[in-house]
């Protein structure tokens, strides 16, 4: 029962303010993309990785990563959902598909293995989550508060998100909307999405502050490959 991981890495990462696309920013001498792929391999739970990169970078990334038999490189699109759709086209006859943001470069392999284990245990859709520490408000277009959801009911969602491949394909075919995570599309099919325990290290590098944090964590750990999880 093959497991294919899609790694969307085609975003420009404007909020990060670097001069290369976000996934190609280096953390401790390796790109975020390379670190994300390493984490997937190190989990021992993934058979193949499909990396989705900006169209103009396909040849370069193939030269860097694609020589390995277990990695395929394809061109992404303008929205994240377009990039995941392009990756799905390259996922072949996978039984399970994981979608893992390159920007979550420090995700511990144990989180990845837990997602796959929960799929193998029978869940159709699995997402790693962590508790929310801030109180979250909804607001209207003018900034006025419209509600305060109970914090204990809320979770912050990470990747990799894991799916029965047929269900994720159906979500992309039938729902077809732009979404900030893949589980949202699957939820709209009425499929139950199961949460499992995520890890603070699976944070998404989005802002310059996140980049400082990621580099400090790697510096503090020496080589950076042996970060201990925050569980
Ligand atoms: O922009 P955001 O931080 O939500 O991006 C999450 C992940 O999706 C990143 O790894 C980014 O490279 C990827 N992405 C993509 N194609 C896009 C936009 C984002 O592969 N068009």
Q: Do the Cβ atoms of 80 and 204 come closer than 8 Å? A: no
Distance of CA 109 from the midpoint of ligand 1 (Å): 20
Pocket of ligand 1 (CB under 6 A): 8-11, 22-23, 52, 76-80, 83, 101-103, 204, 206
Query: Which residues have a Cβ under 8 Å from the Cβ of 168 and sit 6 or more positions away?
Result: 88, 97, 99, 125, 182, 185, 186
How far is residue 225 from each of residues 102, 104, 118, 137, 159, measured CA to CA in Å?
Answer: 16, 14, 25, 37, 19
Q: Which of 19-23, 114-118, 167-171 has the lowest mean pLDDT?
A: 19-23
Report whether pLDDT(21) > 60.
yes
Residue 32 Cα: closest atom of ligand 1: 10
pLDDT tier for residue 230 given thresholds of 50, 70 and 90: low
Domain that holds residue 129: 3-227
The token duo for 30 is: 């390796």
Residue 112 contacts residue 45 (beta carbons within 8 Å): yes
Give the pLDDT confidence of 150-199 residue by residue, as tens digits. Answer: 999 999 999 999 999 999 999 999 887 778 889 999 999 999 999 999 99
Within the chain, residue ranges assigned H as helices are: 32-42, 58-61, 80-89, 109-120, 165-174, 182-187, 208-220
Domain CATH for 145 = 3.90.550.10
Using one digit for the tens of pLDDT, what is the confidence trace for 130-157?
Answer: 999 999 999 999 999 999 999 999 999 9
From 55, 101, 104, mutation site for ligand 1 pocket: most ligand atoms within 8 A of C-beta = 101
Comparing CA positions, the residue from 230, 231, 227 lying closest to residue 30 is: 227
Q: What is the CA(29)–ligand 1 centre distance, in A? A: 21
* CA–CA gap between residue 106 and residue 201 (Å, rounded): 6
CA of 86 to the centre of ligand 1 (A): 13
Distance 15 CA to ligand 1 centre (A): 11
Share of the chain above pLDDT 70, in %: 95
Specify the number of domains making up the chain: 1
> Residue 225 pLDDT more than 60?
no
What pLDDT is recorded for position 67? 64
* pLDDT band at residue 65 under the 50/70/90 scheme: confident
């Amino acid at each position: 029962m093959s497991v294919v991981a899609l790694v969307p890495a085609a975003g420009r990462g404007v909020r990060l303010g670097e001069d290369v696309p976000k996934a190609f920013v280096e953390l401790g001498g390796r790109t975020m993309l390379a670190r994300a792929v390493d984490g997937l391999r190190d989990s021992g739970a993934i058979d193949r990785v499909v990396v989705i990169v900006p169209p103009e970078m396909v040849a370069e990334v193939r030269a860097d990563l694609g020589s390995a038999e277990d990695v395929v490189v394809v061109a992404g699109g303008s929205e994240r959902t377009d990039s995941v759709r392009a990756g799905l086209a390259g996922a072949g006859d996978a039984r399970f598909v994981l979608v893992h943001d390159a920007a979550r470069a420090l995700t511990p392999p144990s989180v990845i293995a837990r997602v796959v284990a929960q799929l193998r245990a029978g869940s159709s859709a699995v997402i790693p989550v962590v508790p929310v520490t801030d109180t979250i408000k909804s607001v209207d277009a003018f900034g006025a508060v419209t509600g305060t959801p109970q914090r204990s009911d809320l979770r912050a969602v990470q990747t990799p998100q894991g799916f029965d491949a047929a269900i994720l394909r159906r979500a992309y075919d039938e729902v077809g909307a732009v979404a900030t995570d893949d589980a949202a599309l699957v939820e709209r099919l009425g499929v139950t999405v199961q949460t499992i325990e995520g890890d603070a290290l699976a944070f998404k590098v989005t802002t310059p502050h996140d980049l400082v944090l990621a580099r400090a964590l790697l510096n503090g750990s020496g080589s950076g490959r042996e970060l201990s999880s925050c569980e």
